[in-house]
Structure 1
Amino acid sequence: MYEKLSPFTSIYLLTAVVAAFTAGTLPSGVVPQEFDDGYDESILLTRTRQLTFAGLRAGEGYFSPDGTHLTLQSEREPGNPFYQIYDLDLTMGDVRRISPGIGKTTCSFFQPGTGAIIFSSTHHDPRSEKFQREELEFRASGQERRYAWDYDPEMDIYIAPGPAVALAGPDGTVDPKELVRLTEARGYDAEASVSPDGEWIVFSSNRQAYDHELTEEELTLLEFDPAYFAEVYIMRADGSDQSRLTDVSGYDGGPFFSPDGSRIVWRRFTENGLMADLWSMKPDGTEQLQLTNFSSMSWAPYPHPSGEYIFFSSNKLGFTNFEIYIVDTEGMKEPIRVTTTDGFDGLPVPSPDGTQLAFTSSRNSDGGQGSGQIFLSDWNHKRALELLAAAPSRER
């Protein structure tokens, strides 16, 4: 059974992860914390530089297979206060919008071998522009509210056929007619990524909350915590053969394939939404293995291309202090801390050759407490392996 937390407490805890790097203010009653354990992030990260500057916030940057482009989400469109998807040319610095510019979008990813970009969007919802106006009017009124991801049941997965950047017209944007819709089930379909061979897409969905009649308790949960029903699913790259991989109460999402495609790593929230940990499994959903047990919110896993360890984010050191860590792929050793700079550091993604790390951070904004942007650092893979080898074994 679902532990009886108040609805506010449950949704507050789940959305705090996102709010930590996207909101301009801290949640009420939370005091910023500073940590200094004598460790310096320059051991693993060097030449850290900011990649994105435009708009209110940006995040979730993922490399193209050749490492020359980054697909990301950002709030920067005039007339639309919600995220849209962009392609950043890391060589030339050019930015092109891939999503339609209407509605909400999130979670983009390149398809290997094609240059196509998948992402989730609500632009098909006829109410999209109405919601945009309402949000803009609310912000213009001077009112403030805590940022919260709403798990819009209209969110579906689309693909911009490859190469996606070639679809952009003279104005640097893609015509919505060029997009192919991959999911249509009622419910939140997002957090998608593609297998190394380009044949499979793994994603998170709470569609199970909409495909049958719910009990009164379930209806209350859906109203205040729709993420509770989210599970990990898999489908072919054309949207066919959709099937569910997880079946545990609580939010399962953020899945990514291992470099050889033999495993999927994702994060699982506890049933009451208080904590999250990293897990891995085979692509058929079997051999599920817990990789972390920090007793905190550990999320946003992404494998290093060597296949020897996984990047992730955790607030182990304090509610608002999200840092980046690495852990071995079997979860045998205690994780190693990567970042030490004040502010949110999360959503780590290594370059295809494993020599760089892109991540979202608020380190350059309002003393680390402002909105997030995307940063890029050189990554010391050799030193990471040495630190993991020397790490103590994890208690199971």
Structure 2
Amino acid sequence: MSTTTEDRETGTPRHTTVGWPPRNRRELLVKSLWIGVWLVFLSSPVEDLVSGRHSTGATVAGSAGLAVFVGVYLTLVFRNIGRPFSPRVVLVLGGVLGVLAPVLAVTLGSAWLGLFVYLSVAWGATLPLRAAYWAIPASALVMYLIGLRSDEAEARGLVVLVLLIGFAMSGVGQLVRTTIELRKARATVAQLAANEERLRLARDLHDLLGHSLSLITLKSELAGRMLPGHPDQAARQVADIEQVSRQALVDVREAVTGYRRPRLAAELAGAQVALTAAGVRAEVPAEPDLAGVPEEAESALAWALREAVTNVVRHSGADRCAVELSRRQTLDGPMLELRVEDDGAGGSGKGPGNGLTGLTERLQKAGGVLEAGRVRHGFRLVARVPTADRRT
């Protein structure tokens, strides 16, 4: 199992598998291998069945019991991790395992004591912590008591294994449940943030346009009444309407520009999520120091970071990407420098693409510069912007 990450834009898992069923062949192979490792303890019961030590009826009954046990175990543990059953279903399936394990071990011998390992795993992964703390030692005790009748040494060796694996799976189950709850909480927070942004946009648009539209309506009505008898005064009202409309259009454009302007802190957080979700080991600073950096310059750096991360995720095939943000003293004055370096293959090698060309123009407007190209072990993008507004 691996850690959960989320898609940069939708907040849904993309690359890893904790708490989720496999969605592609690679994830299916990984989960199948993980399941297969745990089935090693079935070798003893299978060898016991094919050894011929039991009668035909006992062999058939044992095979059927083993098949039911394994089917219930896989259904309970691995399906329940991704899409949890109701508590009643968990108790029923866990009870089936709790009956089959001792019955098969008592009737068919010590070779079947390994089933208690699966019983401990199932209870540790699916039961609440308080219940698991009682159920796991109880299963180990029952297994040891049964083992005293046939092979005490083997039973004594399995006791520690049953306890350790059971409590380890309790931790894994708790981690999965916590991860699912965290994912739901993040989705709720994202929804609340989106709702708050809609409310803010509605308030801003009302503040920007409410007065202007009311004034336009009033002057339009006034111009309509003046038009028959006082065309000159009506013309002045129409001129006022034009002026108010133009100003309202300017206000709306400025507001929309502010909403569309990316923020460097948000882009850094998004870069961490996007790189991790793509399976790239990310090294991203947490909080940027933007003291003295004009908004236009910050926006240009944010666009540069977004473009660089997009290229790393889509085209580079990199395993590692490092993002650095630092202040530099250059011949052109103090600069804030963004450096994004990965160990991938870089671009196509046919010159800068449209994205880098657009970034260069955007940074130049903010008084900054862009450097991008291949290095010895990957690709590097460096963007610099002034830390003081040179227009002042």
Q: TM-score, normalized by length of structure 2?
A: 0.21
Query: Going by fraction, where is strand more abundant, 1 or 2?
Result: 1
Q: TM-score, normalized by length of structure 1?
A: 0.21
Larger relative contact order, structure 1 or 2 (CA cutoff 8 Å, min sep 6): 1
Query: Going by fraction, where is helix more abundant, 1 or 2?
Result: 2
